[in-house]
Amino acid sequence: MPVLYVQDKDTAGISVSQVIPQAARVKAMKNLTNSFETSGKATEGFRQMSIEDAHHNIRSKKFMDTFKSLTRNRALIGWLVMWTQWSTS
């Protein structure tokens, strides 16, 4: 069951065991950081475009191929595709 632990005065005395090994946690954080940095770099020029031009470019094969080669992260690609579909509807 997914849970979220909140650290505040009411939970100050509760000790939470770490179920994810430190090495896996570090790797996951590096992958997330790299994915967001890559997507930021890939979309830098979009801020200066009209929304229509930005959507057109994001949906282009060239952009998706470049993005895939940089991230190699299908979850992020799926998110980007879903976002572009949602944002144009």
Write the pLDDT tens digit of every residue in 48-89: 888 888 888 878 888 777 767 766 655 555 556 555 555 554
Residue 78: predicted pLDDT: 58
Amino acid at 17: S
Residue 19: predicted pLDDT: 77
Can you give the pTM of this predicted structure?
0.42
Residue 75: predicted pLDDT: 54
Residue 38: predicted pLDDT: 78
Exposure pattern of 6-26 as b/e (b: 16+ CB <10 Å)? eeeeeeeeeeeeeeeeeeeee
Place of tokens 């650290």: 7
